[in-house]
Amino acid sequence: VRTAGRVLALLALGASGIGAAEPVATAAEVAAAEQLRDAALRSDEAWALVSSLTTTVGPRLAGTPGDRAAVEWAVEALASGGFANVRRSEVVVPRWVRGEAQFELLDPVALPMVTAALGGSVGTGDEGLTAELLRVESVDALRALPAGVARGRIVYFAGRTARTRDGSGFARAVRARTEGPSAAAAVGAVGVVIRSIGTSDDRIAHTGTLVYNIAQTRIPAVAISNPDADLLERRLASGRPLRARLRVTARDLPQQRSANVIAEIPGTDRAGEIVLIGAHLDSWDLGHGALDNGAGVAIAIAAARLIGQSAVRPRRTIRVVLFANEEYGLSGSGRYVADELESLARHAFALEADMGAGPVFRLSARVSSRDWALVQQIHRVVGGLGVELGSNDATGGADTTALRRRGVPILMPQLDATRYFDVHHSANDTLDKVDPQALRQSVAVFAVAAFLAARFEDTPGRLPAEATR
Amino acid sequence: VRTAGRVLALLALGASGIGAAEPVATAAEVAAAEQLRDAALRSDEAWALVSSLTTTVGPRLAGTPGDRAAVEWAVEALASGGFANVRRSEVVVPRWVRGEAQFELLDPVALPMVTAALGGSVGTGDEGLTAELLRVESVDALRALPAGVARGRIVYFAGRTARTRDGSGFARAVRARTEGPSAAAAVGAVGVVIRSIGTSDDRIAHTGTLVYNIAQTRIPAVAISNPDADLLERRLASGRPLRARLRVTARDLPQQRSANVIAEIPGTDRAGEIVLIGAHLDSWDLGHGALDNGAGVAIAIAAARLIGQSAVRPRRTIRVVLFANEEYGLSGSGRYVADELESLARHAFALEADMGAGPVFRLSARVSSRDWALVQQIHRVVGGLGVELGSNDATGGADTTALRRRGVPILMPQLDATRYFDVHHSANDTLDKVDPQALRQSVAVFAVAAFLAARFEDTPGRLPAEATR
């Protein structure tokens, strides 16, 4: 903790711009980075990639035929894109089947709501279950209730997702989805319904994985659309008890095989060191996986390809990793870290694209304090694209968390999430929601960041391993 | 035709404002109309009505329990609202059950699309059908194809609905839905899929009735969402034949009983003459019937109630008619005309609210040319609310068509449809889509129009019966 404190003190100086930042790139490197940036802004390659993936494959939940088709698509896209060492690394993934999900208010007339099972939910049995609703605002509010009040009820988590640029509104709200089902089971509930974790007023339910606590009974859990939750609130306002029927036919099937797809732009004199650009290839089943995460896949591939075409070669190797099954358990990144345990110390920096198509509004990082000058250097090249300089306490994305925890420094171009959670994990995640201009800008920032990281003269410092905290 | 020509020539004068319009209301009447307008702009009564109908009843397709609950709701709302002669007039309605609708592209991986059966579609049988797609832009384009090319195919109608303020984009596009299925059957097709008749980029399919031609085989017909149609177009662009699977379990059940719900604000010295304000009470099953047509019901009731509270009494009787089953065959308005055949000559004017919550952007009409001064008079009171003066060739709404054809003059406050077809006939038709301020403005215009029509000194002229055209 003390070390972290010193790091942050130094960083505060760096981030606030006191003192001139030391240049960490040569004039030729800066010029090459600017050329990458400008080439990205003219390129439609990322758009072509996300269009192709969503059109020819579409939904690609782990373990499904779509998932397998996506792996084939990725291998083909990378091999035909001039990458070296294109390979698939097998990953065992869970296979969950959504089935049907019905949630309806019963009195006086049955009113069916737009409903989606949460990822991993167990089923109710074909007959479903009927119970009185208990409204709570949040997991914490549920835990504060007197014992017994939730027994035999369907718990309704009412919290709304706030619209924010940095995704923090989502991060606050999502606990109802991840922790809510087991928290409700712990107090005797028989089912869970949540207001969708999403910011849209469309009549569309947002799925996403729940996390069952192994010590609790697994109870079925679904999300309803925001307008349905609004109606539910208006009915609850009458003060009368509300009965509802819940029916879910979701189930688990045996595990399947999927793969991380990996490809490289080889480095020169430091080829053994890796700058990783990650994005997950899988998607939820309800949409076409355009913003989550076809856009991220496209950003990663297009940024690396641009670097591969630069006259100034990357000294470190740029490695694109398209992770398997991020959505339903982070299988691919877990497998990657296990496979690469010996080489993690040679992972100089990791970047991840998994928050839509952008634009990048801020450049954050989590690097050794003495490497902050690299972040500043990147920012000097991309600041004109509307990118502010962030801080050095970034968490990175879901798939790079396992790397960060083992000390791999993180560069984090933050993608603007203001409208991302309108469509995230919903049927509305389709190509028309991708803004081509934002996508180009995002590719520019990722390309510049990865390129300058691959040229960075110093040996990057490591993060403290988080297990020691 | 010659008569109509003379009428239009006179109207052109009137509408262009050449010559001072003759006042057709006294200063006291104008003042009372202005008070109605201003009271409407302060009132949340219409909002309370549409909120109540959508919250306590919700979907109310003809013949369903929701439809019966809506009739009860309407009787209660009108009786408690101070209306006289509140009554239900029985209407026999068809009962169609949506069942499930699935449409998926088959190769290389099955890609299910967001699909809704068109209202009245027959089913495919439980096993569904598989066929190659044939893309056509429109019904006219289909009819222009060489014989035989559609045989055994699923015809895909690709036409888009243009966003317009007056609903004309919808009117042009909707033929694919109404005429498309039988046009396709006539050339040997086995099924029909249309791009949703709607302007939203949400992944939501828009339903609405088809009209089978009695001389053709009934084939199943569905709509897919706009983003799905976009994806379909991108796949068709590859030039490869596309196979699809269509499965629809829709079916007809025996007819049910519903009702027109009627209530009045009695007139004084001309109480035997009627100014009718109509709105249909039923809705499609997918949404909550907020814009279509809870808003119209609320406008009709709230406008009439305001008139009932005016110190200056309406000379003619204001009659609110909440029609049964507009959506699936205009049962209620057909029944109303049959019931009222003897009294149609005493229907002085008819208004209808069935294009969402507004605001009213234009005041049109279809009245005897010498009564255009009334329209001008109304416009002088509401023009300041952003209402332009329209023309005298209005068609009125669906439910008042039968009245118009039999000579009843039409006053038509035109509700702004710019965003209406984003949600029309879809799951997205929920209360949050109703703009409370627009709703107040609409009530103001309907109240002023109906009030001044009920005070109009002259005996209104009749329209030429359209059967004679």
Q: Is the pLDDT of residue B17 over 70?
A: no
CA pair distance A284, A210, nearest whole angstrom: 13
What is the mean predicted confidence (pLDDT) over B153-181? Answer: 98
Environment class of A6 (CB within 10 Å of its CB; exposed 0-12, middle 13-18, buried 19+): exposed
For residue A267, name the pLDDT band (cuts at 50, 70, 90): very high
The residue behind tokens 């408690």 is B80
- Cβ distance A65 to B204 less than 8 Å, yes or no, reads no
The partner residue sitting opposite B109, judged by closest CB among A57, A111, A432, is A57
Contact list in A for residue B201 (CB cut-off 8 A) is 432-433
- Cβ distance B54 to A231 less than 8 Å, yes or no, reads yes
Contact list in A for residue B58 (CB cut-off 8 A) is 109, 111, 231
Chain B: give the shortest CA distance to residue A297, in Å.
19
Residues with Cβ within 8 Å of residue A435, at least 6 apart in sequence:
A357, A358, A359
The pLDDT of residue A12 is 42
The pLDDT of residue A18 is 43
B111 CB within 8 Å of a chain A CB: yes
B61 CB within 8 Å of a chain A CB: no
CA pair distance B299, B201, nearest whole angstrom: 28
For A276, phi and psi rounded to 5 degrees? -95, 130
- Cβ distance B203 to A431 less than 8 Å, yes or no, reads no
Chain B: give the shortest CA distance to residue A56, in Å.
7
Chain B: give the shortest CA distance to residue A202, in Å.
6
A204 CB within 8 Å of a chain B CB: yes
Q: Is the pLDDT of residue A5 over 80?
A: no
Count of A-B CB contacts under 8 Å: 86
B427 CB within 8 Å of a chain A CB: yes
- 3-class SS at A114? coil
- 3-class SS at B221? strand
Q: Which secondary structure element, helix H or strand E, spans residue A310, and what is its range? A: none
Cβ proximity of A173 and A160 under 8 Å? yes
The residue behind tokens 């003390």 is A2
A432 CB within 8 Å of a chain B CB: yes
Q: In chain B, whose CA is at the least distance from the CA of A431?
A: B227
The pLDDT of residue A21 is 66
The partner residue sitting opposite B430, judged by closest CB among A109, A227, A428, is A227
How high is the ipTM of this complex? 0.90
Contact list in B for residue A110 (CB cut-off 8 A) is 65
Cβ proximity of A259 and A88 under 8 Å? yes
A54 CB within 8 Å of a chain B CB: yes
Q: Is the pLDDT of residue A207 over 80?
A: yes
CA distances from A67 to A64, A277, A338, A448, B159 (A): 5, 20, 22, 30, 32
- Cβ distance A431 to B235 less than 8 Å, yes or no, reads no
Percentage above 90 pLDDT, chain B: 91
What is the mean predicted confidence (pLDDT) over A122-133? Answer: 97
B413 CB within 8 Å of a chain A CB: no
Nearest C-alpha neighbor of A146 from the set A179, A188, A175: A188
Nearest C-alpha neighbor of B401 from the set B326, B306, B307: B326
Enumerate the H helices of B179-283 as residue ranges.
Answer: 180-186, 226-236
B55 CB within 8 Å of a chain A CB: yes
The pLDDT of residue B156 is 98
CA distances from A5 to A13, A355, B9 (A): 13, 29, 85
- Cβ distance B202 to A202 less than 8 Å, yes or no, reads yes
B431 CB within 8 Å of a chain A CB: yes
Q: Is the pLDDT of residue A11 over 60?
A: no
Q: Is the pLDDT of residue A395 over 60?
A: yes
Q: Is the pLDDT of residue A466 over 90?
A: no
Q: In this structure, are strands A154-157 and A129-136 parallel, antiparallel, or unpaired?
A: parallel
What is the mean predicted confidence (pLDDT) over A52-60? Answer: 97
The pLDDT of residue B467 is 54
A97 CB within 8 Å of a chain B CB: no
Select from B97, B430, B434 the residue whose CB has the most chain A CBs within 10 Å, as the one to mutate to test that interface. B430
- Cβ distance A235 to B428 less than 8 Å, yes or no, reads no
A436 CB within 8 Å of a chain B CB: no
Cβ proximity of A197 and A223 under 8 Å? yes
Q: In chain A, whose CA is at the least distance from the CA of B100?
A: A100
CA pair distance A167, A152, nearest whole angstrom: 34
Q: Is the pLDDT of residue B100 over 60?
A: yes
A92 CB within 8 Å of a chain B CB: no
* Token pair listed for A413: 């171009």
CA pair distance A149, A134, nearest whole angstrom: 8
**pLDDT digit string (tens) for B227-266?**
999 999 999 998 999 999 999 999 999 999 999 999 999 9
The pLDDT of residue B108 is 82
Q: In this structure, are strands A101-105 and A243-248 parallel, antiparallel, or unpaired?
A: antiparallel
Select from B49, B56, B109 the residue whose CB has the most chain A CBs within 10 Å, as the one to mutate to test that interface. B109
The pLDDT of residue B4 is 39
What is the mean predicted confidence (pLDDT) over A246-268? Answer: 98
Give the number of other Cβ atoms within 10 Å of residue A467's Cβ.
Answer: 8
- Cβ distance B231 to A54 less than 8 Å, yes or no, reads yes
A55 CB within 8 Å of a chain B CB: yes
Chain B: give the shortest CA distance to residue A250, in Å.
18
Give the number of other Cβ atoms within 10 Å of residue B99's Cβ.
Answer: 14
Residues with Cβ within 8 Å of residue A31, at least 6 apart in sequence:
none
A114 CB within 8 Å of a chain B CB: yes
What is the mean predicted confidence (pLDDT) over B55-65? Answer: 97
Chain A: give the shortest CA distance to residue B10, in Å.
47
What is the mean predicted confidence (pLDDT) over A289-295? Answer: 98
Mean pLDDT of chain A: 94
DSSP state of B61: -
The partner residue sitting opposite B428, judged by closest CB among A54, A58, A203, is A203
What is the mean predicted confidence (pLDDT) over B365-376? Answer: 96
Q: Is the pLDDT of residue B9 over 80?
A: no
The pLDDT of residue A20 is 54
Contact list in B for residue A235 (CB cut-off 8 A) is 55-56
Percentage above 70 pLDDT, chain B: 95
**pLDDT digit string (tens) for A134-188?**
999 999 999 999 989 999 999 999 999 999 999 999 999 999 999 999 999 999 9
The partner residue sitting opposite B231, judged by closest CB among A109, A234, A288, is A288
- Cβ distance A431 to B51 less than 8 Å, yes or no, reads no
Q: Is the pLDDT of residue A2 over 50?
A: no
B108 CB within 8 Å of a chain A CB: yes
For B358, phi and psi rounded to 5 degrees? 95, -160
Q: In this structure, are strands B243-248 and B221-224 parallel, antiparallel, or unpaired?
A: unpaired
Query: How wide is the angle at C-alpha A277 spanned by C-alphas A276 and A281, nearest 5°?
Result: 125
- Cβ distance A58 to B111 less than 8 Å, yes or no, reads yes
Cβ proximity of A324 and A331 under 8 Å? yes
Q: Is the pLDDT of residue A14 over 50?
A: no
Chain B: give the shortest CA distance to residue A429, in Å.
8
What is the mean predicted confidence (pLDDT) over B213-232? Answer: 97
B244 CB within 8 Å of a chain A CB: no
Q: In chain A, whose CA is at the least distance from the CA of B115?
A: A427
Nearest C-alpha neighbor of A250 from the set A153, A328, A187: A328
For residue B1, name the pLDDT band (cuts at 50, 70, 90): very low
Q: In chain A, whose CA is at the least distance from the CA of B236?
A: A55
End-to-end C-alpha distance for chain B, whole angstroms: 7
Percentage above 70 pLDDT, chain A: 95
- Output the 3-class SS for A68-87: HHHHHHHHHHHHCCCCEEEE
Contact list in A for residue B430 (CB cut-off 8 A) is 203, 227-228, 230-231
For residue A4, name the pLDDT band (cuts at 50, 70, 90): very low
